[in-house]
Amino acid sequence: MSDCLFCRIVAREIPADVVHETDRTLAFRDVNPQAPTHVLVVPKEHHATAGLLVGADPQLLADVVASAHAVAVQEGLATEDGPEPGYRLVANTGPAAGQTVHHLHLHVLGGRPLTWPPG
Ligand code: 5GP
Ligand code: ZN
């Protein structure tokens, strides 16, 4: 989708600080970070939400989660087999959750204590 910001980042039409890539996923730093680590992980193919993607291509949703975990390990927020020190995955979905880019993305947040519940 040529009018989708994250499709344009995937197409390398808009620059981004890419930290992880597979054949079907891309991870890049958020331009307005809310934590020392704030990375966005997207499927390269356009899907608006996780709920839509899981029906269309469940393996691709699993690939996005696997990439998010790989980013967390790379950033020192987890190990291959454990969740220490820890991180948060967020998928804002729809207007009530404040989703602003309608291309599924997982926020990987970490590097500071994360309070719960979020705002
Ligand atoms: P949402 O609110 O849809 O869950 O999150 C969208 C995220 O995309 C926001 O955290 C915002 O800072 C980030 N963002 C918006 N425009 C750009 C951009 O051009 N490049 C990058 N790297 N992140 C962006
Ligand atoms: Zn898109």
Active site residues: 105
Say if ligand 1 is within 6 A of residue 93 CB: no
> Is 77:111 a contact under the CB 8 Å cutoff?
yes
Domain count of the chain? 1
> Among candidates 53, 62, 57, which has minimal Cα distance to 102?
53
Say if ligand 1 is within 6 A of residue 101 CB: yes
118 domain-assigned? no
Average pLDDT across each block of 10 residues of the chain; the chain has 119 residues. List them in order: 93 98 98 98 98 97 98 97 95 96 98 91
CA atoms of 80 and 45, how far apart (whole Å): 26
103 domain-assigned? yes
116 domain-assigned? no
**112 Cα–ligand 1 center, Å:** 20
- The pLDDT value recorded for residue 99 is 97
20 domain-assigned? yes
Structural domain containing residue 64: 5-110
Atom of ligand 1 at shortest range from CA of 32:
12
117 domain-assigned? no
Say if ligand 1 is within 6 A of residue 95 CB: no
- The pLDDT value recorded for residue 2 is 80
Instruction: Identify the CATH number of the domain in which residue 102 sits.
Output: 3.30.428.10
9 domain-assigned? yes
Residue 73's H or E segment, with its range, is helix 58-74
Please tell me the total number of residues recorded for the chain in this structure. Answer: 119
- The pLDDT value recorded for residue 119 is 73
50 domain-assigned? yes
21 domain-assigned? yes
- The pLDDT value recorded for residue 111 is 97
What's the CA angle centered on 94, arms 90 and 99, to 5 degrees?
A: 55
- The pLDDT value recorded for residue 8 is 98
